[in-house]
């Protein structure tokens, strides 16, 4: 199974951009890259996903390397409410298997 590797934790200042990296060197051609986040005492929440091209939505941007072996979640202006654990997840094209990394704890300082 393809695995993901993320830093254990990162810190950011409020109102500054945050770049959360993820390595997935064994990604297969049919794997989608998903990002979820989990706030304290809540279930995970979908953030964004992509396959090959960079993606933007109201929450974040996803930059995918040309060889697809790594990706970066970009929060353009971090707020205190963005403090959470961020998971980089590979999901195969058939949707059956999800591979969760340990996640990155994002701390946002005011």
Of the candidate spans 10-18, 63-71, 73-81, 93-101, the one that interacts with other proteins by CB under 8 A turns out to be 93-101
Q: Minimum distance between the CB of residue 51 and other proteins, rounded to whole angstroms?
A: 7
Q: Does 46 bind other proteins (CB under 8 A)?
A: yes
Tell me how far CA of residue 66 lies from CA of 25, 63, 85, 110, in angstroms.
Answer: 12, 9, 26, 35
Among positions 69-88, residues that touch other proteins (CB under 8 A) are 87
**The two three-digit tokens of residue 81, written as one number:** 């409410």
Q: Which residues contact 66 (CB under 8 A, 6 or more apart)?
A: none
User: For binding to other proteins (CB under 8 A), which residues are involved?
Assistant: 30-32, 34, 36, 41-46, 49, 51, 87, 91-98, 100-103
């Amino acid at each position: 199974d393809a695995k993901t590797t993320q830093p254990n934790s990162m810190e950011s200042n409020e109102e500054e951009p945050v770049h959360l990296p993820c390595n997935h060197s064994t990604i297969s051609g049919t794997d989608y890259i998903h990002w979820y986040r989990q706030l304290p005492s809540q279930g995970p929440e979908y953030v964004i996903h992509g396959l090959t091209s960079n993606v933007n939505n109201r929450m974040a941007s996803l930059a995918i390397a040309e060889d697809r072996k790594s990706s970066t979640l970009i929060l353009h202006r971090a707020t205190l409410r963005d403090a959470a654990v961020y998971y980089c997840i590979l999901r195969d094209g058939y949707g059956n298997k999800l591979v969760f990394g340990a996640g990155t704890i994002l701390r946002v300082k005011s």
